[in-house]
Structure 1
Amino acid sequence: MARPTPRGPRRVVRPTPQVPKALRGVGVLLVLAMAGGLVHVLGGTNAYTPAGHEGYVYHQPLAFGQREFKETQTGPVSTGWRWRQYVTNIDMRVNTFSEEMQIFSSDNLEVTFEAHARIRLKAGSVQDVVEEYSGSDWYANNVRRPYRTAVRETVRRKLAFEIKDESESLADEILERLREEYSDTPFEFLSMSIGNINYPPSVEERVIANLAAEQRRQRMEVQRQIAEAQASIREIRAGGDARAQQIQQETLTPLFVQHEAAELYRALADDTDDDDGVAQARVMVVVPTRADRAGVPFIYAEDR
């Protein structure tokens, strides 16, 4: 009789769990997001240019190759997402560049002052500025030294105290020179001014002494003019008195003198009132003292 074949334990086959389609979609999205994040970290950009600036947009390769210019943009604007595109922003607004100057004037006096230039970049010139004029360092590398040279050479031809009096004309001359020198560049000079002019203490003391001496000279000049005017007045008066005496001598004839004396005697002999208001008559006797009736006569008067 045959023996039955022994059997081992039964093997249970369990079904493989199925991932829902929705979860599979989420997984794909997560993988794509991670890949996109990695790509963005490696070179994703969104170049932004603020207001008042122009942007120089360029592509920078990841490992090999040279930087390549792409475009320019005027802010405020951004490029949107780009692969390794960056921007160099240049301020196109008007800026004032001030320089402290210390020079010797034509009379060999030390003068310190400040020069102020208002400069802006011409619109649409950002590519030239970046590629030809050092980008954001355009002033320091291309303008500052010629600007200071123009100021120094123009101002030092003047006397120390002429600089302050002629500061406006000097600024105009410097501005004209710089405009001509930079006419074919992106740099535009709008205005120029010179101010805060100072002199050393020794020069200021000399100025004060000169002013005091000038004031003394002016006072002496005024006194001289007054003395001359007074002398002229005295001279005119003396001349008038001399002419008056001459006229009197020419007109005082003996008959005229006798007539004037008679009028005087008549006035003295007029009736007068005493303190009581009573009219009184005055008797006057005129006695000549010389035979020719010249000289001063004696006058006898008696009131009645």
Structure 2
Amino acid sequence: MAYNDPLRMQFPKFSVWKGSGKFFLWIIIVIALVIFAIASFYGFKNPYTPPGHEGYIKRGAIVGQVTYYGSQVGPASTGLGWLLYVENIDFRWRTFSEKFMVMSADNLELNFNAHVVMRPKPGSVKEIVEIYGGENWYDRTIAEPFRNAVYEAVAGYKALEAKDKREIIADNVRKKFNSYLTGKPFQVASIVVGTINLPQKVAQSQELKIAKQTELEQKDFEIEIEKKNKEMKIIEAEGIAAAQKIINETLTPQYLQHEAIQAQIQMANSPNHTTVYIPSGANGIPLVKTVP
């Protein structure tokens, strides 16, 4: 006689459970692989530091705080690691420029630029990141002390004096700035103070003064030239007078007659000559002087 067994209806055969178990196992494996792939993609890193940089390497944490892992000098990479990150700091020489408007000792407004060439000291990346603001170390900790050094160096000068002493001012800035940097991980190569621009009225007055001075110098130069020309004319006149004196002393009738005879001899010996009759004196010599 057929009947329905409640137990058989509630519990499927073992073969059915066995097939379902394999299916769920594969699902779990696939999910685990996907999770591992995602974790590997986002979790395993190979941080790279380019040339001229130093890298501050940190290890992240799923739970807890990020910790310092180490440093590297570029070009370099850490190799594949779990939750590794790098903050790269540029250690090359760079120029930083600042604009200034400073009141001089005589209360005139001076406008100019100042430039500093500097860099972090090699090997100090950990200190740069943890104390001095990382890649923005100049703006965060250095710009203001540099500006203060420039203000102090320029403020004691009068306007025209400051304009002509830029190199001395730059040297004073360097001394003050290096004093501030003592014990800090930075190096300074040079400091340059640009052209100091005076107020327009002062600049125009200075230009007019220079123009007048140049004009006076030009006139003095022209006067000197005239003096030299006068001296040359005097010397030339004296030379002519001396020459005339010598000629007058040596140009006698006998000398002239001698020169005339020499000329006749040359004409007679020339193949191309024309006979010329010249009135002559008692001795057959051409007359060079008429005796009254």
State the 1:144 CA deviation.
Answer: 0.5
- Is 1:277 the counterpart of 2:284 in the alignment? no
Distance apart, 1:215 and its partner CA: 1.8
Q: 1:26 to 1:93 in 2, by over 3 A?
A: farther
Q: What are the superposed Cα offsets for residues 162-218 of structure 1, whole Å, 9 maximum, x if unpaired?
A: 545443443344234323321311111112222254333323322221122102221
* 1:213 equivalent in structure 2: 212
How many pairs are equivalent? 251
Distance 1:140 1:91 in 2: 14
State the alpha-carbon separation in 2 of the partners of residues 89 and 97 from structure 1: 19
- Counterpart of 1:143 in structure 2 is 142
Aligned-residue identity in percent = 27
**Corresponding residue for residue 82 of structure 2:** 82
Q: Which amino acid aligns with 1:277?
A: I
Q: Larger deviation: 30-39 or 200-209?
A: 30-39
**Structure (1/2) with the larger strand percentage:** 1
Q: 1:29 to 1:156 in 2, by over 3 A?
A: same
Distance 2:221 2:38 in 1: 93
CA distance in 2, matches of 1:14, 1:231: 139
- Tell whether 2:15 aligns with 1:44: no
Amino acid aligned to 1:30: V
Distance 1:74 1:26 in 2: 46
Do the aligned residues in 2 keep the contact of 1:106 with 1:156 (CA within 8 Å)?
Answer: yes
Q: Is contact 1:178-1:189 (8 Å) kept? A: no
Name the counterpart of 1:112: 111
- Tell me the SS of whatever aligns to 2:194: strand
In 2, the alpha carbon distance for the partners of 1:153 and 1:192 equals: 15
CA distance in 2, matches of 1:27, 1:81: 29
Task: Identify the range of structure 1 (122-131 vs 25-34) with the bigger mean alpha-carbon deviation.
Answer: 25-34
Q: Distance in 2 between matches of 1:276 and 1:120?
A: 105
TM-score by length of 1: 0.62
For residues 15-38 of structure 1, what are the alpha-carbon distances to aligned partners after superposition, in whole Å with 9 as ceiling and x for unaligned? 726659998886554232234256
Structure with more of its chain in helix, by fraction: 2
Name the amino acid aligned to 1:57. Answer: I
How far off is 1:98 after superposition?
Answer: 0.8
Give the CA RMSD over aligned residues. 4.5
Amino acid at match of 2:181: Y
- The residue aligned with 2:180 is 181
**Residue 47 of structure 1 contacts residue 87 of structure 1 at CA under 8 Å; is this kept in 2?**
no
SS at match of 1:16: helix
Displacement of 1:124 in angstroms is 1.6
Three-state SS of the structure 1 residue aligned to 2:278 is: coil
Give the residue type in structure 2 aligned to 1:70: Y
Structure 2 unaligned residues grouped into runs of 5+: 239-248, 258-275, 283-290
**Take 1:276 and 1:7, find their aligned partners in 2: how far apart are those partners?**
185
CA shift, 1:56, in A, is 2.4
Any stretches of 5+ residues in structure 1 without a counterpart? 1-5, 241-259, 282-300
Q: Could you list the per-position Cα deviations for residues 140-177 of structure 1 after superposition, in whole angstroms to 9, with x for gaps in the alignment?
A: 22111110111222234444445454434433442343
The answer on whether the counterparts of 1:47 and 1:57 sit within 8 Å (CA) in structure 2 is: no
Distance 2:279 2:135 in 1: 119
Calculate the TM-score normalised by the size of structure 2.
0.64
Whether contact under 8 Å (1:49, 1:74) holds in the other structure is no
Give the Cα separation in 1 of the matches to 2:280 and 2:58.
Answer: 132
Per the alignment, residue 193 of structure 1 pairs with: 192
